[in-house]
Amino acid sequence: MNAIITVVGTDQVGIIAQVSGYLSGHRINIVDISQTILSGNFVMMMMVDLSASDIPVAEAKKDLAALGDRLGVSVSVMHERVFSAMHRI
């Protein structure tokens, strides 16, 4: 499955490095990535492919949330199909 990971918070050194390091450690492939400043916040969005992942999605979500807590940013993981349903007809 493809999921969209969103990281929102205050900009700092190493956010992308830490998140992508975690993902590569679990064979989660980054399909697409973009980063922007939206309403004064650092916003990073990634589309990732979990088909070769070595952990269940629930566990990845927990780990990424914990990583977000350490970095002081909020991390959400949602199925790509939720975004397709809402924004593509």
Partner 1 sequence: MLFTAHEIRETVDMFLRHKLDVRAITLGVSLRDCASPSGSESRRRVRDKLLRVAGRLVETGRAIEEEFGVPIINKRVSVTPISLVAEASDDDDFAPWADTLDAVARELGIDFVGGFSALVEKGMTSGDERLIASIPRALERTERVCSSINLGTTKNGINMDAVRRMGAVIKETAEATRDRDGIGCAKLVVFCNAPGDNPFMAGAFHGPGEGEAALSVGVSGPGVIKAACEQYRGAPIDVLADGIKKTAFKITRMGQLVGQEAARRLGVPFGILDLSLAPTPAVGDSVARILEEMGLESAGAPGTTAALALLTDMVKKGGVMASTSVGGLSGAFIPVSEDEGMVAAVRAGSITLEKLEAMTCVCSVGLDMIAIPGEVSAETISGIIADEMAIGMVNNKTTAVRLIPVPGKVAGEWAEFGGLLGGTPIMPVNAFSCASFIGRGGRFPPPIHSFRN
The site for partner 1 (CB under 8 A) is made up of 1, 3-4, 6, 8, 32-34, 36, 38, 43, 45, 47, 56-58, 61, 74, 76-83, 85-87
Q: 39 vs 70, which CB is nearer to partner 1?
A: 39
Strand order in the sheet with 73-79: 29-38, 41-49, 2-9, 73-79
Q: 27 vs 78, which CB is nearer to partner 1?
A: 78
- Indicate the SS3 state at residue 61: helix
User: Each residue of 55-83: b (16+ CB within 10 Å) or e?
Assistant: eeeeebbebbeebbeebebebebeeeeee
